[in-house]
Amino acid sequence: DQQVKQNSPSLSVQEGRISILNCDYTNSMFDYFLWYKKYPAEGPTFLISISSIKDKNEDGRFTVFLNKSAKHLSLHIVPSQPGDSAVYFCAASADGNEKLTFGTGTRLTIIP
Amino acid sequence: EAGVVQSPRYKIIEKKQPVAFWCNPISGHNTLYWYRQNLGQGPELLIRYENEEAVDDSQLPKDRFSAERLKGVDSTLKIQPAELGDSAVYLCASSLGRVGEKLFFGSGTQLSVL
């Protein structure tokens, strides 16, 4: 039972354009959402998060949007840079519990 | 500031052999996690420690997996005996333990069971 789903295993985007990564969840108890970025042979690193009381959070080139009614969140990267090429994981937690449930990841490739 | 340190980086063993992974969390982080990441999947929580206490081990296969965090600092995860299906990356993470606090991950141990 995959509670956090990333339906696009891969995405290619031209450098300078916007990258949009999507994530859907099924557990209505999730109230905190995070995006992690992972380079090969490294552990995931935190990128950005959003609480369920917000619908948008922005940090530099990265913006996360949350649509609670649709149980959907997305990560926007603009402009995309070659260093953004990595696997991006969406994660969620419920009731302030620190246990994170991860999606299966989306491999983003930025084309120079 | 040193990050989460894990060793070994890679491990290749034959099935039925024992194996152990070690993790040293970031100094001051009282919460420590062990995750397992299978190929093409996201990390899945195996066990979470608050200091030396295992507060969530519901996903740990207790027939063959064990973990300890003596003195509430570094931690060891053991598999005995290993099975072919245990091949995965084992990730350790730590955090300050406050709600919403982000996790810091180590580079992981890639285990191959032959």
Q: Token pair for residue B83?
A: 């099975």
- pLDDT band for B2, please (50, 70, 90 cuts): confident
pLDDT score for B1? 63
pLDDT at A101 over 70: yes
**pLDDT (average), residues B62-68:** 95
Please confirm whether the linkage preceding A79 is cis (ω < 30° from 0).
yes
> Residue A99: which of B4, B56, B97 has the nearest Cβ?
B56
pLDDT at A13 over 90: yes
**pLDDT (average), residues B23-36:** 94
Nearest Cα to Cα of residue A96 among A51, A66, A64:
A51
pLDDT at B98 over 80: no
Nearest Cα to Cα of residue B73 among B12, B31, B15:
B31
The alpha carbon of residue A64 is apart from the nearest alpha carbon of chain B, in Å, by 16
Q: Which residues of chain B are within 8 Å of residue A49 when distances are taken between CB atoms?
A: 100, 102
**pLDDT (average), residues A41-52:** 93
> Residue B107: which of A36, A42, A91 has the nearest Cβ?
A42
Asked if A103's CB is within 8 angstroms of B91's CB, the reply is no
